[in-house]
Structure 1
Amino acid sequence: MSTTFYKKPFDFRRLFSNQPLETCDAGISISQHIELIIFSRFGEHRFNPAFGCEVWELDFELIVNESMWEDKMSQSIKRSVRAQEKRLYNVDAFIRIEDVEKVFPLRRMTEIKKKVEVTVTGKLNATGENYTFVTALFLSPLSSE
């Protein structure tokens, strides 16, 4: 049985002009779904209050111990992806934090943000192939003059 996966964001102009929506393969569809899980807060979607992850709660948490924070974040993402993305098994998540500094010379200001690199790995249920998803988030805007 063939399943059709749609590319996001939807181009509703195509739909209203009686053209089919753009499709994508299963890997891209899974990546889009994981991205949606990571960028959603628990309770944000009325159809499923358990959809999302703790990224938004952890964003404002003071990072005293980076390794503990990374572990807490990776556990949250792993739990959420395992619960919400049924096309994968053997799911694992890895987090790496680094400070990124951006200098604005004209305003004599430096902005420091936390860059969080998220890697999710697993295997596709349909084929057993390895699957990897990587994205980066920027947290905690900190500015100095």
Structure 2
Amino acid sequence: MAEILESYRLPLDTTAFLKDKILPKCAIEDSIAGQIRLLLLTSFDECSFDPEFGCEIWEHEFEHSQISKIWIDRMSLQMTTLLQKYEQRLMNIVIKAQITEKEFKSDNTNQSTVRLQKCLTINLNANLTSTNEPFYFKDSIFISPFSTD
């Protein structure tokens, strides 16, 4: 029997369910992307049902030290381990992470301020467990805010 490749759309629309008795669905790729984003944006101990659910990134959010290749490789390995545990709809997971700095300018009445933020970009290649089809995911999150003038 073939697996249905769709999931319930989050957040759940309970008003629509009470009215129509149907919950909107989305493609499995969208559901997986949402789960990956949730893992990336959640810190440890944030979810009471599972204190290990989340990502180590937020343990180092405000560190101003140089982010090294070792740290980036550790984040990639940790994300791979997390996805193997929490996203079993994927297999053959390969993650590449990259840190860049983005510059933001803001003009106040008296002075101009330049803000730099580190941006972590995650590129993920995998296969869907159910069909072996390729799955691609790319997302960027800003970490370690600081400013200069």
TM-score w.r.t. the length of structure 1 is 0.89
Out of 116, 125, 139, the residue aligned to residue 135 of structure 1 is 139
What is the identity, as a one-letter code, of the residue corresponding to 1:73? M
1:53 is matched with 55
Detail structure 1 runs of 4+ shifted over 3 Å in the superposition. Answer: 1-4
CA distance in 1, matches of 2:96, 2:61: 16
- SS of corresponding position for 1:17: helix
Taking a change above 3 Å as real, the CA distance of residues 49 and 109 of structure 1, as seen in their structure-2 partners, is: same
CA distance in 2, matches of 1:65, 1:32: 26
2:93 is matched with 91
Farther off after superposition, 91-100 or 13-22: 13-22
Deviation at 1:120, TM superposition (A): 1.7
CA distance in 2, matches of 1:75, 1:63: 21
Out of 4, 7, 13, the residue aligned to residue 5 of structure 1 is 7
CA distance in 2, matches of 1:115, 1:80: 21
Deviation at 1:60, TM superposition (A): 2.8
2:17 is matched with 15
TM-score w.r.t. the length of structure 2 is 0.87
Q: Deviations over 1:34-78 (max 9, x none)?
A: 111111122221222221121211323344253122112111111
- The alignment yields a C-alpha RMSD, in angstroms, of 1.8
Deviation at 1:4, TM superposition (A): 4.9
Aligned residue runs from structure 1 range 102-141, under 5 A: 102-106=104-108, 107-141=111-145
What is the identity, as a one-letter code, of the residue corresponding to 2:120? V
Aligned residue runs from structure 1 range 73-92, under 5 A: 73-92=75-94
Structure 1 residues not aligned, in runs of 5+ = none
- SS of corresponding position for 1:75: helix
Taking a change above 3 Å as real, the CA distance of residues 25 and 14 of structure 1, as seen in their structure-2 partners, is: same
- What's the % identity of the aligned pairs? 28
- SS of corresponding position for 1:14: helix
**Count of aligned pairs between the two proteins:** 145
Deviation at 1:116, TM superposition (A): 0.9
Structure 2 residues not aligned, in runs of 5+ = none
CA contact (8 A) 1:104 1:110 kept: yes
